Amino acid sequence: MKEAGNTSGQTSGQKMLLTMTGIGVFCALMIVLSYQGTLPRIEQLKAEALEKAIFKVVPGMESKRTFRMESDGSFTEVSGKEKDARLVYAGYDKEGKLVGVAVEAAGMGFADVIKVIYGYDPEKEAVVGFYVLESKETPGLGDKIEKDPNFLANFEALDVSLTEDKSKTKNTVVAVKHGEKKNNWEVDGITGATISSRAIGNLLGTSTAEMAPVLHKNKAFFEVKKGQ
Amino acid sequence: MNQESLFAIFINASLINNFVLAYFLGICPFLGVSGKMETATKMGAAVTFVMIISSVCAYGLHALLVSIDAIYLQLISYIVVIAATVQLVEMFIKKMSPALFRALGIFLPLITTNCAILGLALFQTNKGYGLAQSVVYALGAGIGFTLALVLMAGLREKLNFAETPNLVKGTALTLLIAGILSLAFMGFAGLGSN
Amino acid sequence: MFKKTLHISTSPHLTKGIGTDDIMRNVVWAMLPVALYSVWSFGLGALVVLATSTTACVLTEHFLAKISKKESTISDWSAAITGLLLGLTLPPGFPMWMAFLGGVVSIALGKFVFGGLGYNVFNPALVGRAFLQAAFPVAITTWHPVYAPDRFTTVPSATFTAPFMEPSTVDAFSGATPLSAFKFDHVVTNSYDLALGLIPGSTGETCAALILLGGLYLIARNMMNWRIPASILLTVFLLSGALYLANKEAYPSPDFMLFSGGLMLGAVFMATDMVGSPVMPAAVWLYGALIGVLVVVIRIWGGLPEGVMYAILLGNAVAPHLDNLIRPRVYGTVKTAKKS
Amino acid sequence: MSQLTKDKTGEGFWGNLANSPSTNEFLKGLWKENPVFVQVLGMCPTLAVTNTAMNGLAMGLATTFVLLMSNILVSSLRNVIPKQVRIASYILIIATFVTMTDYAIQAISVDLSKALGAFISLIVVNCLILGRAEAFASKNTVGKSMLDALGMGFGFVIGLLSLGAVREILGNGSIFGIPVFPASFQEWVIMILPPGGFFTLAMWLMFFNHRKQKKAAL
């Protein structure tokens, strides 16, 4: 307890400045070192997690390329490290043929925003895969959107075909009550988790309505191999 | 980029995912100053005020850090900025309105260690909110915090004369009430989702 | 508020007033037709739920009084009322162990921790019900049909689920209550069925007519603050009426809003809890209006089909403020005197 | 000292910390001055991330690490740092170690860092850490401060684990991901939702209240 008193007597502005600078330099050094030290590993883990998700939603995919969507609806290939950009991931099979494009989408669920990634096949004009990236839906109820096999079966071939002039989707994806799915652009909901399954229907509807025409238009662009 | 509407952000921050009752942010002042109505209101107002200011600061700071590619300094710079903001607000209020300063007095320094402020800055960054969205988020969070605090204070004042069992006296009772309030706020879940 | 054992009193000494147990007993009388009708319409499934929750509440009350070395308070009927009310808000065929747990939570968490009767700032039955809703969201929204032919001979299979185990849903039906049918599928149930209870739902919420009758009895005997149900129902009627007039396609009709779900039960028997509601008449009107608005907001814009329980709990939480807001100034003080 | 008195005065815990005996640095944090159950400090991580035992353990260990490192540094610099800027320096030091912990956790597992989310960063404003730096490390030798940090840290771990365990067992039927009930167990979903956090902590506090009252009665 006595030591505490010692410091107060001899302080001056200079000393305060000196200590603060010293501590600041030390802290900055520690932070930068730990950042540099962990960076490769963190990026690898993140890339792996993303890869895993993309592989889940684009069946038959062997390799991927990342594109950034520009505000005019065109796409530019990027390295995939950009943060504040709208990215899509094109997947290719062994022969390098385009098998689908993975797109992220988000919408308000029951508890908080739900983030998903889905695969769009411009050839079939359909959603071909779906995976929940982030959700806080009620365990045992709303979180069935992640696990329920019947629900997930909706997204193996969900019709998002375009109108004649390819300018918009023919039908908007929408969730219906469980067991009442009549058309293949409808999502068969989950009993007891109506809100969560509807949220998925809505967010897919909004996202596909916007993205499907753009992606379809750029189909040829995605198919061009690197270096060609 | 995030495209949530301002109204949805406000409802989400204040009611559905109330900072105190769903995220447990700012529990320390919640337990500490919810005993009296008057202090609860003042604390709530002070926190809301600081939240909005530091939300704007955090937005600018994040943009700066991204542009100089020094995102690893995020946490340390946020906390420094928040501490500085609280200091400035304190000095500003002292000068402009001594009456308000006396009323808020002891609460202002306490806000620095209120995790709700730092939590707000971190969440808005994670969610990628723009400036307007961040401000509305801060406003919602502040109002939600005040609401929880004021409701709790009202109930605790009402219970002042109750013969609560010894077993639950003190913090335990406050936590139990908070749990029930948290249950009641679950009614807001999904608001605006359809 | 209503203590049976007052030791000290100042003049004037009233010799006879309405005691707590008088009121409570009459509340039981008022609720009895509702309970009987639910047993008649849902059969053994409802009977078991009502009996279990009531027993659980009475036992918990007795046990907690014993361990805190106080005189048991079960004779004031309040625990029985809590149990009965809780049972009336649960679906028939609800697993016994869950109903029992709900009863324990109602009394322990909703009443005992606050110091017992007179201090239960939240309606105890609703605390128990909200706990069950959050804990077992699937079981509490599993309904059984009304007027099933075998209702007096067989008990729904979920009822006797072993404690802590998941109830079976073999004979439960996944159909919806009128509210969820409207919310999710836009199907409107006709108001005649609603008023007479020809619909599935929680045990006690289906027959609006009997609930109103019970309420009128209590109001007639001056044992209930009539302003509370009046202001809740009026608010719901006006607000949903305005919405309905604005857009008949999107919003339900006001009579549907009034008679469906737990609104009647909540407005008449739950929001009127004397501890959780304000005292001043103006504050009472505000309290009712607030609950009414919340009910409409949650039902129409919220994620859940029904919001009466949450609305009343939130109303209970706001009640102390409403009294403060309306509280008359102490004679002789000046309004501007409050300057820090 | 009890949280009862603390609750009334509002600033009692600074007093509590300052009055801590200089002996027994390690043990006091585990039980007598347990940061969770007795001092009721650092509530927001305590409640927010304890929906499983694993999350509670990870959060507890991360906090212990930050507490230990900052205590060591603060204690070794205690004669250097001028009094006027001490709080600012402590915050800088703590924020540095928290950032390091954050990166370490991200490097260990994506799932873990996703589950703990921003709450790792929020260790900065855990009053326990600043409290120990100010009340103990700034006045004691490095050795004592280390013991104090370890004691308080493990006390915090015990607190978080006991909450996480109860919530995971009832809310998920498992502990550390290993099922403890038969498959047909009905989960109490409320326990992993926010109200469950409040109720579980209240239960533990009531348990400690009960023990204390029993002791006082003897």
pLDDT in the model for residue A6: 46
State percent of chain A over pLDDT 70: 91
For residue D175, name the pLDDT band (cuts at 50, 70, 90).
very high
User: Smallest Cβ distance to B168: which of C113, C130, C303?
Assistant: C113
Interface touch C303/B194, C-beta < 8 Å: yes
Place of tokens 């707000």: B120
Q: Does D174 touch chain C (CB under 8 A)?
A: no
Q: Is residue B44 in a domain?
A: yes
Q: Which of D136, C13, C309 is nearest to A4 (CA)?
A: D136
pLDDT in the model for residue D2: 39
The single-letter code of the amino acid at B70 is A
Query: Which of A178-187, B10-19, C250-259 is modeled with the greatest confidence?
Result: B10-19
Residue range of the domain that includes B26? 6-188
Q: Is residue D78 in a domain?
A: yes
State percent of chain C over pLDDT 70: 88
Q: What's the domain count of chain D?
A: 1
| Greater pLDDT, B106 or D192 | D192
Nearest CA in chain A to C143: A192
Q: Is residue D112 in a domain?
A: yes
Q: Is residue D7 in a domain?
A: no
The helix (run of H) or strand (run of E) holding residue C71 is none
Q: Is residue D15 in a domain?
A: no
pLDDT in the model for residue D72: 95
Interface touch B21/D193, C-beta < 8 Å: no
Q: Of the ranges A191-205, B106-120, B134-148, C117-131, which one carries the lowest mean pLDDT score? A: B106-120
Q: What phi and psi values does residue C189 have, to the nearest 5 degrees? A: -85, 145
Compute the average pLDDT of residues A170-176: 85
| Three-state SS at C137 | coil
Number of Cβ atoms within 10 Å of the Cβ of A71: 6
Cβ contact D129:D65 at 8 Å: no
CA dist., res. B160 & res. B140, Å (int): 30
Q: Is residue B68 in a domain?
A: yes
Q: Does C1 touch chain D (CB under 8 A)?
A: no
Nearest CA in chain B to C184: B194
User: Which residues of chain A lie closer than 8 angstroms to C137, CB-CB?
Assistant: 138, 140-141, 192
For residue A191, name the pLDDT band (cuts at 50, 70, 90).
confident
Q: What's the domain count of chain B?
A: 1
* Burial class of residue A115 (count of CB atoms within 10 Å of its CB; 0-12, 13-18, 19+): middle
pLDDT of D109 strictly over 70: yes
User: Which residues of chain C lie closer than 8 angstroms to B168, CB-CB?
Assistant: 113
Q: Is residue B123 in a domain?
A: yes
| Disruptive mutation site among D69, D74, D84, D111 for chain A (greatest number of A CBs within 10 Å) | D84
Q: Which of B92, B90, B87, B104 is nearest to B38 (CA)?
A: B104
The single-letter code of the amino acid at D49 is V
The single-letter code of the amino acid at C190 is N
Residue range of the domain that includes D43? 29-163
Spatial CB neighbours of A207, under 8 Å, sequence gap ≥ 6 = A103, A105, A118
DSSP class of residue D137 equals: I
pLDDT tens for residues C64-98?
998 888 888 888 889 999 999 999 999 988 999 99
pLDDT tens for residues A9-42?
455 788 888 888 999 999 999 999 999 999 999 9
Number of Cβ atoms within 10 Å of the Cβ of A185: 21
Interface touch D195/C164, C-beta < 8 Å: no
Q: Does D212 touch chain B (CB under 8 A)?
A: no
User: Which residues of chain D lie closer than 8 angstroms to C131, CB-CB?
Assistant: 190, 195
Report residue D20 CA to chain centroid gap: 17
Q: Is residue B83 in a domain?
A: yes
User: Smallest Cβ distance to B113: which of D130, D195, D199?
Assistant: D130
Q: Does C301 touch chain B (CB under 8 A)?
A: yes
Encoding tokens for residue D186? Answer: 């009905």
Nearest CA in chain A to B8: A108
User: So what's the ipTM on this one?
Assistant: 0.89
pLDDT tens for residues C152-183?
888 888 888 888 888 876 666 655 678 877 77
Q: Does B98 touch chain C (CB under 8 A)?
A: no
The helix (run of H) or strand (run of E) holding residue A65 is strand A63-69
Considering just the CA atoms, what is the radius of gyration of chain D in Å? 18
pLDDT of D20 strictly over 80: no
Interface touch D184/C131, C-beta < 8 Å: no
Cβ contact B28:B157 at 8 Å: no
pLDDT tens for residues A76-97?
887 766 655 678 888 888 888 8
- Subunits close to A (at least 3 CB pairs below 8 A): B, C, D
Q: Which of C239, C254, C242, C323 is nearest to C287 (CA)?
A: C323
Question: In angstroms, how far is the first alpha carbon of chain C from the final one?
Answer: 33
State percent of chain D over pLDDT 90: 47
Spatial CB neighbours of C44, under 8 Å, sequence gap ≥ 6 = C151, C152, C153, C154, C155
Q: Is residue D2 in a domain?
A: no
Interface touch C135/D184, C-beta < 8 Å: no
Written in H, E and C, the secondary structure of chain B is CCCCCHHHHHHHHHHHCCCCCCCCCCHHHHHHCCCCHHHHHHHHHHHHHHHHHHHHHHHHHHHHHHHCCCHHHHHHHHHHHHHHHHHHHHHHHHHHCHHHHHHHCCHHHHHCCCHHHHHHHHHHHHHCCCHHHHHHHHHHHHHHHHHHHHHHHHHHHHHHHCCCCHHHCCHHHHHHHHHHHHHHHHHHCCCCCC
Helix residue ranges, H only, C202-338: 208-220, 227-246, 254-259, 263-265, 281-301, 308-326
pLDDT in the model for residue B1: 47
User: Which residues of chain D lie closer than 8 angstroms to C128, CB-CB?
Assistant: none
pLDDT in the model for residue C333: 57
pLDDT in the model for residue C58: 95
CA dist., res. B14 & res. B20, Å (int): 10
Q: Is residue B107 in a domain?
A: yes
pLDDT of C231 strictly over 70: yes
User: Which residues of chain C lie closer than 8 angstroms to A177, CB-CB?
Assistant: 184-185
pLDDT of D35 strictly over 90: no
C-alpha triplet D50, D51, D53: angle, nearest 5°:
65
| Three-state SS at D7 | helix
Q: Is residue B1 in a domain?
A: no
pLDDT in the model for residue D6: 39
User: Which residues of chain D lie closer than 8 angstroms to C134, CB-CB?
Assistant: 189-190, 193, 195-196
pTM of the predicted model as reported, rounded to 2 decimal places: 0.89
Pairing of the two strands A126-134 and A158-159:
antiparallel
